[in-house]
Chain A
Amino acid sequence: MIKFLLKGLIRDKSRSRLPVIVVATGVMLTVLMHAYIKGLMGDTIEMNARFSNGHVKVMTKAYAENMNQTPNDLALIGTAKMLSNLKNQFPEMEWAQRIQFGGLIDAPDENGETKAQGPALGIGLDLLTAGTKETFRLNLTNSLVRGKMPENKGEVLLSEGLSQKLSVNPGDKVTFIGSTMNGSMTVFNFSVAGTLSFGNEILDKGAIIVDIEDVRNALDMSDATGEILGFFQNGFYDDESAINTSEKFNSAYSGNPDEFAPVMKSLSQQGSMGQYVAMSEYWVNYIAFVFIIAMSLVLWNAGLLGGLRRYGEVGIRLAMGEEKGQVYRTMIFESVIIGLAGSLIGTFLGLFFAWLIQKYGIDISGLMKGSSIMMPSIIRARITPADYYLGFIPGLISTVLGTMLSGIGIYKRQTARLFKELEA
């Protein structure tokens, strides 16, 4: 019977082509929208991950307890070995050492006396190693306002706001005044390579970006680092995987009472990020649910109209003696075939376009000028396993339900009235 129905559908384009196009379009939009919303909502999480939290973060236990204060006196020591171990144990992740620090930036006049001074929030990361991904992670090249990226030791990037406050330009010398890992005062000279605009008030006010080796020299942190951040290679945070990775790492140190023993925390286990991750997940599901319901109504309606449009054909078939149940079943089978075909094509197209947006992104940097919200300048979709089956809810179920509802009319029609209807 299926073969018979398929033949009918293929030969009668009005019963197959348009319905399949309608279903495929609806499914494609559903899949694309879900992936896009997932990517959009996840971008804030990713931004926090890239700047400070990582997908997972390794610290000492003591550091983790006071993480908001970035206490570098409690930093990890012997990080070269630890980094090597992490790379071996978790090769599926990318690892990056970071040192967050605070202090004063002092701009000298021509006599070497203080001209201006301002508080600074520093991030030490790998800027100079060939092939480093840190520049990309923090989108530094695109955030450059003046000057160039650091190419040599002793070069620093200042936020545009801080450089203007201190009246310093690329090429000028500035002095960092802060505390070493041991709590001793440190004074360190840097040359300003360039200025940055992050689109975030706090960072734009007083951020400095320095190569991690320079930070180590300045803060007396030889072979030490505040944090080691781990990132999934696909660039997207997966809470379950991050928690599993953390548990696997921490199990090796569970019996170690040393407060300087390393501990790994997933992004959701760091401060208020857990709440944000949960809230984000909730909102993604909520928005996706509303969209799927809306799309289901559209396709249900299409199925309904498709059934009603064949009112005359059904009448002839009933007049010719075909059983009501037989007609009803064939209509449902046809809608299942249409729904399946449309859902498959729609899911494929939706995934394809979502993949394009995931890979290349949509550049919204033109809209971000003057923005005070920390948002990425390129919005990317994110394909998740749900995208492979989500489109079948409106595509298959709604189409079939619509046909089933319209087909109910078949049982209400009286054979005696059929000829009158046909004559009319």
Chain B
Amino acid sequence: MKKHIISIISFTIISLTCLSQPGADEILKKVEKNMSSDNRVFESVMTIHGNRTSRTITSRTWSVGDKRSFTEYLSPAREQGTKMLKLENQLWIYSPSTDRTIQISGHMLRQSVMGSDLSYEDMMDDRKLTDVYTSVVSGEEVIDSRRSYILDLTAKVTDAAYHSRKMWIDSERFVPLREELFAKSGQLLKRTNLSDVKQIEGRWFPETVIYKDILKQGGGTEFKITSIKFNQKIPEYIFTKAALKQ
């Protein structure tokens, strides 16, 4: 009898634990709810820690959903006035010194953005994670004193930039705290650490992201959002090629 009671209690605890842990897709949807918005306008400081020097680049970005974004680089002097327009799966860069608008395509998408640890391809991959990857919760871990779910994501489409991902999601705020991106061979390609999570306009949002391209030398790239506003009125003309030359 006593054995039966212990078994029932154990089963109940395990069941409750499992029931209390949301499924991987549900976690990802909650993450997207935090991270996505109809539109946003933000200013950022990107510090690229190279082998010998560090460079800081500031920019202002307007974006609508995940499909359209426009970035204007504000400093340093060499990059000032450079503009980048992303529409769906197309990307253009305007260089003021040459007055030329160049479309980035093909192998050029694999180049790094301003010498950072981020590639244009990373910027272009705007599909929802649930559309590209099948995911499972593989465990839990404490990251920066925050209990996190560990999600293993495997690509279910052939054109995914990374074959698999491992994400650590804050179990309360549903914000990614760490991410690792892998090639099909299992080789770790990139690691991302997200921090300074703040509540902005009712959503939890990480203000600092540190990207590290494992295959690249240097100390990684620190991307810090200095100001961000969600659901703003953004003029339509901004997302046109004509806006690049203005």
Interface set of A (CB-CB < 8 Å, partner B) = 73-74, 77, 104, 106, 108, 112-114, 175, 177, 179-180, 182-185, 187-189, 220, 260
Contacts and interface: CB of A to CB of B under 8 A. Distances in A.
Given A187-B93, A188-B97, A220-B78, A182 B55 contact: yes
Contacts of A106: 100, 102
Contacts of B101: 112-113
Q: What size tier do the contact residues of chain B reach?
A: 20 to 34
Nearest to B104: A185
A179 B52 contact: no
A112 B51 contact: no
B228 to A, nearest CB: 24
A184 B116 CA distance: 7
B152 interface: no
B195 interface: no
19 contacts: A77-B52, A104-B108, A108-B100, A112-B100, A112-B101, A113-B101, A114-B103, A175-B98, A175-B100, A177-B102, A179-B115, A183-B50, A183-B115, A184-B115, A185-B93, A187-B98, A188-B98, A189-B97, A260-B51
A113 B99 CA distance: 11
B119 to A, nearest CB: 10
B48 interface: yes
A376 B229 CA distance: 65
B138 interface: no
Contacts of A77: 52
Closest 5 A/B residue pairs (Cβ): A183-B115, A187-B95, A184-B115, A182-B115, A189-B98
A181 B119 CA distance: 16
Interface in B82-106: 93, 95, 97-104
Interface of B: 48, 50-53, 55, 78-79, 93, 95, 97-104, 108, 111-116, 216-217
Nearest to A179: B111
B111 A112 contact: no
Contact of A182 (B50, B97, B103, B111): B50
Contacts of A112: 99-101
Contact of A114 (B79, B97, B102, B114): B102
Secondary structure of the A contact surface, majority rule: strand
A183 B112 contact: yes
B93 to A, nearest CB: 7
A104 B100 CA distance: 14
A49 to B, nearest CB: 29
B102 A187 contact: yes
B115 A180 contact: yes
Nearest to B95: A187
A314 B157 CA distance: 102
A187 B94 CA distance: 9
Contacts of B116: 183
Contact of B112 (A108, A184, A188, A260): A184
Contacts of B112: 183-184
Contacts of B99: 112
A189 B97 CA distance: 8
A187 B48 contact: no
B10 to A, nearest CB: 56
A233 B103 CA distance: 47
A366 B100 CA distance: 42
Contacts of A175: 98, 100, 102
Contacts of A108: 100
Given A184-B114, A185-B114, A220-B78, A260 B52 contact: yes
> Which of A113, A177, A187, A189 is the most central at the interface, judged by chain B CB atoms within 10 Å of its CB?
A187
Contacts of B98: 175, 187-189
B38 to A, nearest CB: 30
B111 A185 contact: yes
A185 B48 CA distance: 14
Contacts of B51: 73-74, 260
B48 A182 contact: yes
Nearest to A180: B115
A106 B95 CA distance: 13
A16 B57 CA distance: 87
A177 B109 CA distance: 13
Nearest to A181: B115
Contacts of B100: 106, 108, 112, 175, 187, 189
Contacts of A180: 115
Contacts of A74: 51
Contacts of A113: 101
A106 to B, nearest CB: 7
A108 B102 CA distance: 10
B139 to A, nearest CB: 36
Nearest to A103: B108
B25 to A, nearest CB: 37
Given A108-B100, A114-B102, A184 B79 contact: yes
B95 to A, nearest CB: 4
